[in-house]
Amino acid sequence: QVQLVESGGGSVQAGGSLKLSCAATGYRDVCMAWFRQAPGKEREGVASIDGDGVTTRYAESVKGRFTISKDNAKNIVYLQMNSLKPEDTAMYFCARDPTARWCADNFAPSDFHNWGQGTQVTVSS
């Protein structure tokens, strides 16, 4: 059964750090990504990582602060979030495209077929 389970969310003060994890079952070595959605806003891409775990892409708003990585042996994708800002507050979702090893440069929610349930990140000022 295809399943993505996120963990690691929580509440932190601005400037703090959190590390999200996404444990996946099923497909390996395929494109995976993190998205986020704040209340009243559209879901937006945060970071993606190719199936080989090498090539990564980031939204401009998180470049230099967030790092996506992958443990292929364990089939877990991580999102290390540093220097968090109040505007990073959102529900964060893990997503997977089981049809592609390589992520699209402009990864969008419509590219992904599998989704986790989300984990809440709240950053206070």
Tens digits of residue pLDDT in 11-63 = 999 999 999 999 999 888 999 999 999 999 999 999 999 999 999 999 999 99
pLDDT surpasses 90 at 112: yes
> Regarding predicted confidence, which is higher, 78 or 98?
78
Quote the strand ranges of the chain, DSSP E: 3-7, 10-13, 18-25, 31-37, 44-49, 56-58, 66-71, 76-81, 90-97, 114-115, 119-124
Pairing of strands 119-124, 10-13: parallel
Model confidence pLDDT, tens digit, residues 63-80: 999 999 999 899 999 999
Q: How far apart are CA 73 and CA 29, in angstroms?
A: 10
Question: What pLDDT score does 36 carry?
Answer: 98
| Rounded distance between C-alpha atoms, residue 88 and residue 124, angstroms | 10
Task: Answer whether residue 1 shows pLDDT above 80.
Answer: no
Signed CA dihedral, 108, 53, 101, 94: sign only: negative
